[in-house]
Amino acid sequence: MPCTLSWLLKVIELKLYTNAATPFGRKCEVIAHELGLKLEIIKTLPMQQPEFRRINPLGKIPALVLEDGSVIFDSPVICEYLNHRGGGKFFPGMNIFRHNTGRWKSQVLQALGDGIAEAAVNYVILGREPTPPEAWRARQLEAVNAGLDVAERTKFAEPPTIGEIAIACAIGYVAFRLPDLDWKSSRPKLAAWYARMCDYPAMRATEPKAP
């Protein structure tokens, strides 16, 4: 791509519908921050803004709106788009299927991180019901814990890929929304790795907050 075009693509603002608490939106913001891509952040509370379905019919954040008005979702697709647009290396190249290397490892890790985050989000949302469905809620917590156990046994890549970013954003959400869950003491390697991940400027700039 000619230099001027790649510069232009970095300065044009893309609109990201998201909020400060979502672990899925955070992944996108981390990638954009690392690649110097400007995003216009449009704070969105999907459950209170039914009109948001005009942007994403599924009613979920994040959603990315491009210059021509076209919309990209969900977060794995947005992250890959931003990575491509910013010339990043967060999605390692194709290889013959070996689940423990390259693209497949990073994609499975992303699925693991997103799955932990999704279960944690469900656990939190269900807990706000007047009569929470306890068995279903307990199942969400089991998924969080089982996922974190796998992460404890994982050899993470350095520099991080989209997989490491997804796991770190999921843990960030767990630490933020489930502060009473002691996820660290039985997972010392994961805790030490997560502390190092939190030092990345992009992670510091996107720490979760109440939306």
Ligand X SMILES: N[C@@H](CCC(=O)N[C@@H](CS)C(=O)NCC(=O)O)C(=O)O
| C-beta closer to ligand X: residue 22 or 107 | 22
**Residues 114, 167, 170, 208: which binds ligand X (CB under 6 A)?**
114
CB of 61 to ligand X, least distance (A): 4
Interactions with ligand X, residue window 173-202 (CB under 6 A): none
**Residues 64, 120, 121, 151: which binds ligand X (CB under 6 A)?**
121
Q: How far is CA 190 from CA 113, 152, 187, 193, in A?
A: 13, 5, 5, 5
* Residue 17 identity (one-letter amino acid): Y
- Tokens 């995003």 correspond to 39
| C-beta closer to ligand X: residue 35 or 169 | 169
| C-beta closer to ligand X: residue 34 or 80 | 80
* Residue 116 identity (one-letter amino acid): I
Closest CA relative to residue 108, chosen from 178, 156, 171: 156
Q: Are 15 and 44 in contact (CB under 8 A)?
A: no
3-state secondary structure 21-41: CCHHHHHHHHHHHHHCCCEEE
Site mask for ligand X (CB under 6 A), range 38-77, x = bound = --------xx-----------xxxx-----------xx--
**Residues 14, 16, 17, 24: which binds ligand X (CB under 6 A)?**
24
Residues forming the site for ligand X (CB under 6 A): 22, 24, 46-47, 59-62, 74-75, 114, 121
